[in-house]
Amino acid sequence: MNKKPLLIKDATIVNEGNIFVADILIDKEIIVQIGNINSSENYEIINAKGLHLLPGVIDSHVHFRTPGLTHKGDLHSETGAAIAGGVTSFIDMPNTIPNVLTQETLADKFELAAQHSFANYSFYMGINTTNWDEAMKTDPSKICALTDDGLYFSGKDQLLVSNDSYMEKVFKECPMRIAIHSEDEEIINSELNFARAKYGDNIPAEMHPKIRTEEACISSTKKAIAVAKKYNTRLHILHLSTAKEAALFDNTLPLNEKRITSEVCVHHLWFCDEDYKRLGAKIKWNPAIKTSADREGLLHALIEDRIDIISTDHAPHLLQEKLLSYEKAPGGAPMVQHSLVAMLEMVHLKKISLEKVVQKMSHNVAQLYNIERRGFIKEGYKADLVLVDLNAAWKVDKANILYKCGWSPFEGMLFQSKVVKTILNGTIVYDNGIISEKKVGQSLKFGIS
């Protein structure tokens, strides 16, 4: 903890649709004052003139690999990369080894995070056809949602949308929010068999969006939305990848009144199918990156509030795994260090406003999941903040990539903006390339709605 209160002077603050210059005083983890504040020798002072101060990014969809897959990434390495990228809080998916399908396994992950995480943390509880009773024991003040995401790696038909009767039960009876991976596995398997017949063992990476198709996403999402409306379920659709899917979501209600919500990942806003020729399976994600029209449609839906939040689906794999043949190369890639600067690059390109980026990466995540006292720059809130220089160009290369897997699909990219400092619970945890060894991350708390 900082021994002295921390005063940030002359910051250009971006918060709740406004951009203004002010000072911020932080004491004992909390923002205690915003305004014109006189300096004092009793304060630790940051001169933020010329820098933009944003609420810390809350990434509600990551795969940090602890436990069981720590050769790819772990809580120490990936949360270090996260705070270097301005991400102050994360919510991790259940497809570690073992899968998080019991309360005991869930508790073990919290203990590991308390020891090793640089950032604030929480986890999803996994749900499949085997663990209804365990899933129903979940404490909604500690866990934001139940999910099937990633569990399909453990066996066939593990997605809720692949089990109509069980999905009906879950959507009808579960009191918590359900976050789902929405793709039709029958359509995917049919297209995969067609590709095998045509290409044998040499399916090109460019076939990925033709295997995990637009139709597979739309048919699945339509079905899930219909069942959720039938039972008034709190449903969140993870990682939308098609423009037609995005059109299925409502933008007439304020976020706190929506029962059905959605997210888009940075890679679906950045890449398109033309990039497979250059990057191959490095950009193989599930669901697949699709056309440039889908990319533009997703961005439009994000801006007009049909899509509610931005996440990363950060999923590190070893480079040698990603360079395997199409079927053997795993889906997913590391993103959490570069998600904010990628979105800030889109601000420079005038594709989205800075205020909208903050809304979708911080405010709305906190509001959607009812995260207590985070996601905003407000007096009385936890001081999770990131200072960025919008005019400090730098290039992504192996020397500055912090993921344990050591690579990024952004390698060689010149970004115009740079994260200068990250402040977590009032403590400077990242400062111009240096990660503090202090572990001040806290377990996220969720208001019960």
Mean pLDDT within 54-61: 98
Residues 99 and 76 in one domain: yes
How many percent of the chain have pLDDT more than 70?
98
Count up the domains in the chain and report the number: 2
Instruction: Please say if the pLDDT value at position 449 is more than 60.
Output: no
Q: 438 pLDDT band (50/70/90 cuts)?
A: confident
Which pLDDT band holds residue 2 (cuts at 50, 70, 90)? very low
Longest dimension (CA), the chain: 73
Return the CATH number at 348.
3.20.20.140
- What are 24's strand-pairing partners? 8, 34
Reported as a pLDDT band with limits 50, 70 and 90, residue 155 is low
CA atoms within 13 A on the CB side of 39: 8
Residues in Cβ contact with 330 at an 8 Å cutoff, skipping those fewer than 6 apart? 284, 315, 317, 321, 322
Give me the pLDDT at residue 158, please.
74
Shared domain check, 262 and 385: no
Q: Tell which of 312, 346, 368 closes a domain.
A: 368
Angle at 14 between CA 80 and CA 304, to 5 degrees: 100
Angle between helix axes 214-231 and 185-199 (nearest 10 degrees) is 170
Domain boundary among 368, 396, 417: 368
Residue 409, domain member (yes or no): yes
Query: Residues 232, 314: one domain?
Result: yes
pLDDT of residue 8: 98
Q: Is residue 296 part of a domain?
A: yes
pTM assigned to the model = 0.97
Regarding whether 109 and 170 lie in a shared domain, the answer is yes
Looking at every residue in the chain, the average pLDDT score rounds to: 96
CA angle, 15 as apex, 11 and 17 as ends, to 5°? Answer: 125
pLDDT of residue 156: 61
Does 153 score more than 90 pLDDT?
no
Where is average pLDDT lowest: 86-95, 131-140, 171-180, 439-448?
Answer: 439-448
The answer on 63 and 174 residing in a single domain is yes
- Indicate the pLDDT class of residue 151, thresholds 50, 70 and 90: confident
Q: How far is CA 142 from CA 59, 164, 243, 385, in A?
A: 16, 29, 33, 22
Say what the pLDDT of residue 1 is. Answer: 45
Q: Which two tokens stand for residue 239?
A: 């990682």
Both 269 and 417 in one domain: the answer is: no
Which of residues 343, 368, 393 is at a domain's end? 368
What pLDDT, in 10s, does the model give residues 271-315?
A: 999 999 999 999 999 999 999 999 999 999 999 999 999 999 999
Residues whose CB falls within 8 Å of the CB of residue 101, separated by 6 or more in sequence, listed in order: 94, 126, 127, 128, 130, 131, 134, 135
Whether the per-residue pLDDT at 53 is higher than 90: the answer is yes
Question: Tell me, what's the pLDDT at 3?
Answer: 76
Please state the rounded mean pLDDT for residues 36-45: 95
Terminal-to-terminal C-alpha distance of the chain: 32
The answer on pLDDT for 170 being more than 90 is yes
Tokens of 156: 């066939």
**Overall average pLDDT of the 29-41 stretch:** 96
Non-local (6+) Cβ contacts of 47 within 8 A are 9, 10
Tokens 């939305």 belong to which residue? 225
DSSP letters spanning 244-268: HHHTTS--SS-GGG-SEEEEEEHHH
**In this predicted structure, what is the pLDDT of residue 361?**
99
Position 424 in a domain = yes
**Residue 445 near residue 91, CB atoms below 8 Å:** no
User: Residue 246 sits in which domain range?
Assistant: 57-368
Q: Do 273 and 403 share a structural domain?
A: no
Q: Are 203 and 327 in contact (CB under 8 A)?
A: yes
CA 106 to chain centre: 19
Same domain, 28 and 144: no
CATH number of the domain encompassing residue 423: 2.30.40.10
Tell me the average pLDDT across 341-367.
98
Same structural domain, 224 and 295: yes
User: Which residue, 204, 172, 210, is CA-closest to 190?
Assistant: 210
Same domain for 330 and 391, yes or no, is no
Question: Domain check: are 197 and 246 in the same one?
Answer: yes
How would you class 445 by CB atoms within 10 Å of its CB: exposed for 0-12, middle for 13-18, buried for 19 or more?
middle
Q: For residue range 102-142, what is the model confidence (pLDDT) as tens digits?
A: 999 999 999 999 999 999 999 999 999 999 999 999 999 99
Structural contact between residues 13 and 22, judged by C-beta atoms closer than 8 angstroms: yes
